[in-house]
Structure 1
């Protein structure tokens, strides 16, 4: 959610911009904790989204032979070389991460992606990245805590929903640690959290029709208080529930990922 800076952004001559979702991290302990979680190696194909004022960029670039960064803010991109200890290792890509083809950065090694994602684009950006999962080894991001809880949620919890299922279909999702609002300048009105996504080289579960699977999951969670029988009325009959091995009186938040795949396969191309 936040672009990182170890110093006061006003001292760096840059005002945080609301339209880019910029809040700058100044807590060195949190920065170090993120770097430890990433655990970069010198030959990693490391890409940072939204380097901001380089608080995370600086320690990361000291650990790798080259660091690629994707930055939308031209002013921040222009100032990056002067803010890092090894500017010769820095490759700056001025682009909108939502539209950028990350697969073009793959050379002989898959990407390791890190960064802080603006809340207003976090969901579409995560889906954009997981669709390129074959090019990515892992991702470490910071977002609003409640969003991270939804991404990593398990069935039978209030956080479990469409975001949980769709991201966990493509990746192993791990909640790592919380980051308090006071660690940022200006402080946001929410608590943040860091998490890891590891795209599957081969998905453990594969729906027969992935577009239908995605549409099914979206549909039932727009009516999460309804039983599956009611929300799928006209789309799946009793025989279909039997084929899928799913209780038609169940509600969507009680189903596991494998059960959603089975349900999707029982009503292929009905959405």
Structure 2
């Protein structure tokens, strides 16, 4: 999240949109409520509009992951007074090992303005570190936030929302209009808070199996569970689990997906 500097053109391939609205920046900081005791990690700091506020609030204890190598020297120059505590990692966040940032008992607090083209895979990547994370605050395209928060029967309900809600409490916070950025995107953005559970409210016996079931079920959204899951489980077996095989996947609750996953795990363990 960043304000656009003179001489730096936003790069389309990185999905850069520089945040410049001070009112929005202040609202984001209040939502995060950073404190000196926190270990914050910012993904894609850009030119540091949000970074500056985070550094001031935490006395400089901040890790940043930035892919655009041209921005890194600018950030180091801009925040030179925090050189001992502000660490910039030139890396692709999709491949970054966030576990390597943990230095003590403090969990990580993740912040980022995530480009639309990487937001979904990046969230899945971060969920794999959920045991190390206290919370995540993201600026996302509003449609992605809608997908994260959607429930059964909602048009936005799908794999992203189901797995995010398996691991986290999802809290949409507020909408950010295109005019808050330069260049202005064509769609609204939104801020969302993801808070990992200490223990999933509906734990699956095998999370990998659950992910496979959900991915397969939504392989073709317009088809029924009978068709989409036929390679995994029979219609009779679904009925035995009190699940209608004639339903489309977006009608099932997280608990029902876990029920299917656990049945498959039990069957695999018997063989």
Distance 1:231-1:72 versus aligned 2 partners, 3 A rule: closer
Instruction: Identify the residue that residue 56 of structure 2 maps to in structure 1.
Output: 62
Out of 188, 192, 198, the position equivalent to 2:189 is 192
For residue 50 of structure 1, the aligned residue among 44, 48, 55 is: 44
Q: Output the TM-score relative to the length of structure 2.
A: 0.91
Which residue of the partner structure matches residue 27 of structure 2?
33
Kept in 2, the 8 Å contact 1:173–1:196? The answer is: yes
- The structure 1 segments of at least 4 consecutive aligned residues displaced by more than 4 Å after TM superposition are none
CA distance in 2, matches of 1:130, 1:204: 16
Q: Distance in 2 between matches of 1:56 and 1:34?
A: 8
Matched, 1:79 2:70: no
Q: Does 1:134 align with 2:131?
A: yes
Gaps (5+ residues) in structure 2? none
2:2 matched residue in structure 1: 4
SS in structure 1 at match of 2:49: coil
Matches within 5 A, 1:66-215: 66-84=61-79, 86-88=81-83, 89-108=85-104, 109-215=106-212
- Say which is worse superposed, 228-237 or 194-203, in terms of deviation: 228-237
Q: CA RMSD in A?
A: 1.8
Deviations 1:13-60 (A, max 9, x none): 211111111110110000001101101111100110111010000111
In 2, the alpha carbon distance for the partners of 1:86 and 1:197 equals: 31
TM-score, reference length from structure 1: 0.91
Deviation of 1:94 (Å): 1.5
State whether residues 173 and 192 of structure 2, in contact with CA within 8 Å, keep that contact through their aligned partners in structure 1. Answer: yes
Q: CA deviation at 1:238?
A: 4.4
Contact 2:67 2:91 in 1 (8 A): yes
Q: Deviations over 1:129-179 (max 9, x none)?
A: 110111111100111110110011111110101111111111111111111
The total of aligned residue pairs comes to 264
